[in-house]
Amino acid sequence: MKQLHKQSSMNHRRDEETPSTQTPPYSPKSLKHPKSIPRSINYLFKEQRLLFILIGILIGSTFFILQPSLSRLGPTDAHSPIRRSFSKDNTVSSGVSVFSDNHDSSASFSSGTNRAVYGKVGRVPVGIGRRRMRVVVTGGAGFVGSHLVDKLIARGDEVIVLDNFFTGRKDNLVHLFGNPMFELIRHDVVEPILLEVDQIYHLACPASPVHYKYNPVKTIKTNVMGTLNMLGLAKRVGARFLLTSTSEVYGDPLQHPQKETYWGNVNPIGKVASATTIICFGCLFSYSCRLLLSFGLIWLGERSCYDEGKRTAETLAMDYHRGAGVEVWFS
Ligand SMILES: O=c1ccn([C@@H]2O[C@H](COP(=O)(O)OP(=O)(O)O[C@H]3OC[C@@H](O)[C@H](O)[C@H]3O)[C@@H](O)[C@H]2O)c(=O)[nH]1
C-alpha cells in the first residue's frame, strides 16, 4: 500500500513538472473574410483566365455532342464496307465460314499463304475495331478445322481447339504452337467440358466413310452427344454455335439440282450410294473424276451412322435455337 501511494504521488509530481502539451479547447473555424468572393472573381478575370475556361467548356461539349454520331459510323452503317453477316467472303477454302463481327471484308482468306502468318491478312490488321473473341473449334486438328483455326487466329481471335485426334493430326496445327492466342486440348466431345467462350465451331466428327464406318456407334455418339454437349455449353455461356453438317442429311437425292424445298430421300438403317458413281462414269478420262469414282465406290454400303448423326445434330441445334434462344448456324 505504501509503495502504491508513493508511486501515485510521484506521478502527480511528474504531471506538475511537465509543461502542458494539451491542445487548446475547440473553437469554431472563423468564417472566410467576406472580401474573399470579390477577390476570387477578380482572380478569374485576371490574365484571361475566364476566356480559357470558356474555351475548354466549348471544346468539351463539342466533343460530347459529336461523339454519339461518330460511333454510329461503325460497322452497322449501311454504306460501310464492313459487314455483319455470315457471307461467302468469309468462307474458308474448304467450306466453313467464320462468324463475322465488323471485320474488314477485304481480308479474305487463302489457306495456302496464311499458315505461318499471324494477323497479316489484308492491308489493315483485321483485329482493329472489333472485340477479340474467344473461340472454340472442335475437330480443329482436322483438314477443314485447321484451316479455320488459321483464319480465326489471323482475324485476331483467341482459339481453343478440342480434338481427340481420331483422324486429325497435331502437324496441322504445329505452326501455331507457342502462339499465345492458341490452345490445344485433347478432348473427346462426347464428354462435357466447361469453357468461357464467345463462339463455338463444332466440327468434330469422323468425316470419311472409312473412318465413320470403322465404329458406327461411336460415330453417331460423337454426332449426337458431342453436339448436345457443345450446344449445352453454348446455352450456358451465351455463345454462338456453328455446326458443320453435310449434304448427306438429304440422303440419295432424287432431284438434281435440289431446291430449298427438297427434304431428301433418306435411309435410317443403311445406305447405298449410287448417284455419285453414275455421275463419275460420265467423265472417266479426267484424272480428278477418276478420284471421285473411287470415292463414290467407297461410299457403297451402310453409312447412316454419319447421315443420321448429322441430321440429329441439325435437329438438336434448331431445338436449342427455338427452345433456349441459342444462335445457331449451319455449314
Ligand atoms: O470423335 C471424334 C472424331 C473426330 N474428331 C476430330 O474431328 C476432325 C475431323 O477432321 P477430318 O480431317 O477427319 O475431316 P474434315 O476436316 O474433312 O471434316 C469436316 O468436314 C466434314 C464434316 O462432316 C466434319 O464435321 C468436319 O470436321 C479430326 O481432327 C478428328 O480428330 C474428334 O475430335 N472427335
State if residue 172 touches ligand 1 by the CB under 6 angstroms criterion: no
Position in ligand 1 atom list of the atom nearest CA 169: 29
Terminal Cα distance for the chain, rounded: 99
* Average pLDDT value for the chain: 76
Tally the domains of the chain.
1
Q: Give pLDDT, residue 127.
A: 52
**Residue 315 CB coordination number (10 Å):** 13
Residue 22's pLDDT band (boundaries 50, 70, 90)?
A: low
Question: How far is the C-alpha of 137 from the C-alpha of 185, rounded, in Å?
Answer: 10
Q: What is the mean pLDDT of residues 314-331?
A: 97
Domain CATH for 186: 3.40.50.720
pLDDT at position 303, please? 84
Pocket-testing residue among 136, 151, 203, ligand 1, by greatest number of atoms within 8 A of Cβ: 203
Best mutation site among 137, 171, 205 for ligand 1 pocket (most ligand atoms within 8 Å of CB): 205
Asked if residue 20 is part of any domain, the answer here is: no
Average pLDDT of 164-193? 98
pLDDT tens-digit readout, 212-250: 889 999 999 999 999 999 999 999 999 999 999 998 898
- Of the candidates 118, 201, 250, 306, the residue annotated as catalytic is 306
For ligand 1, atom 4, which residue shows the shortest CA distance? 205
Q: Report if residue 217 sits inside a domain.
A: yes
Q: Does 140 reside within a domain?
A: yes
Q: Which domain holds residue 240?
A: 131-252+307-330
Of 21 and 59, the structure prediction assigns the larger pLDDT to 59
Q: For residues 42 and 104, what is the distance between their CA atoms, to the nearest angstrom?
A: 56
Each residue of 107-118: pLDDT tens digit? 333 333 333 333
Domain annotation covers residue 174: yes
Distance, CA of 326 to CA of 236 (rounded, Å): 9
HSE value, Cβ hemisphere, 13 Å, CA-based, for 272: 2
Q: How far is the CA of 191 from the centre of ligand 1 (A)?
A: 16
| Mean pLDDT on 294-309 | 70
Residue 66 — pLDDT band, cuts 50, 70, 90?
confident
Write down the pLDDT at residue 63: 82
Q: Is 306 a catalytic residue?
A: yes
- The three cell numbers of residue 91 are 468462307
**Separation of CA 277 and ligand 1 centre (Å):** 24
The Å distance, Cα 140 to ligand 1 centre, comes to 8
Q: Average pLDDT, stretch 164-180?
A: 97
| Grid cell digits, residue 196 | 468461357
Ligand 1 site, residue 246, Cβ cutoff 6 A = yes
Residue 278 falls inside a structural domain: no
Any idea which of 66-70, 78-82, 187-191 has the lowest mean pLDDT? 78-82
**For 38-47, 77-86, 241-250, 251-260, which range has the lowest pLDDT when averaged over its residues?**
77-86
The residue contributing the CA closest to ligand 1 atom 18 is 207
* Residue % of the chain over a pLDDT of 70: 62
Ligand 1 atom with least separation from CA of 138: 33
Q: 266 lies in a domain?
A: no
Say how many Å lie between the CA of residue 76 and the centre of ligand 1: 35
Would you put residue 109 in left (φ > 0), alpha (ψ -120 to 50) or beta? Answer: beta
Nearest CA to ligand 1 atom 2: 205
Check residue 62 and give its pLDDT.
86
Query: What's the whole-model pTM score?
Result: 0.64
Q: What is the pLDDT of residue 255?
A: 86
Segment 134-150, tens digit of pLDDT = 999 999 999 999 999 99
The secondary structure of the chain in percent helix, strand, coil, rounded to multiples of 5, reads 45, 10, 45
Q: Which atom of ligand 1 is nearest to the CA of 166?
A: 31
Lowest mean pLDDT among 96-105, 155-164, 305-314: 96-105
Distance CA 119, CA 4 (A): 85
User: Does 222 sit in the ligand 1 pocket, CB within 6 Å?
Assistant: yes
* Amino acid 203: pLDDT: 98
